[in-house]
Amino acid sequence: MTLKDVEADMYRQLSYNQDDLAQAMRATYSNLIDFITTPEFSKILKEFRALQGHERPAFVLSVILNKEELARRGVHTPEGILIQRSSFGDRRPTIFCVKKYLPKKYSDVWQNVNITFDNEFADESVSRAPGIAWRKPLPVDIQAEAIARGADLEKIEYPAGT
């Protein structure tokens, strides 16, 4: 049995096929791209990128996650699109993401798509080893504070009791 056969078999029990899911994902990504490439949001991203890495978490809280500030700058987030802080187990220095859920019918396989915005980092500095990359992500507030301090995210352990 080939990998293609295994994948096809996994979709037989679903009400859709792999191509249907891919099309839904593409359409949802298009919604995200249409939003983040508006002149108003692009201007905010340009301001974000001009900041030093340690300044970005505060900018995210005061501007990008602040609906009133976004509106003041002419950014109106479309229905169904979320802007939120995020983190991953591989400790990429993710600052925030723009996210949208797929239609509910696909949630048994895939829930959402997102575009993440990270501080710059050397790709080789992020481990791809399964035991490391798939550990529990840091809470977003701890990761943001660590980025603001310039701390090495790889050296931060997941806090006990969290």
Distance CA 97, CA 83 (A): 6
82 DSSP assignment: E
- Evaluate if residue 22 carries a pLDDT over 90: yes
- Annotate 93-102 with b (16+ C-beta within 10 A) or e (fewer): bbbbbbbbbb
Q: How many CB atoms lie within 10 A of CB 31?
A: 15
pLDDT tens for 26-46 read 999 999 999 999 999 999 999
- Evaluate if residue 1 carries a pLDDT over 80: no
Q: What is the mean pLDDT of the chain?
A: 88
Amino acid at 142: I
Residue 83 β-bridge partners: 98
pLDDT tens for 109-160 read 899 999 999 887 666 666 677 777 677 888 899 888 988 998 888 888 877 7
- The answer to whether 120 touches 133, Cβ cutoff 8 Å, is no
Which pLDDT belongs to residue 88? 82
What pTM, to 2 d.p., does this model score? Answer: 0.82
**What residue ranges do the domains of the chain occupy?**
17-151
Distance CA 85, CA 30 (A): 21
What's the rounded mean pLDDT across residues 69-73? Answer: 97
Amino acid at 67: K
What's the rounded mean pLDDT across residues 55-84? Answer: 97
Distance CA 42, CA 86 (A): 20
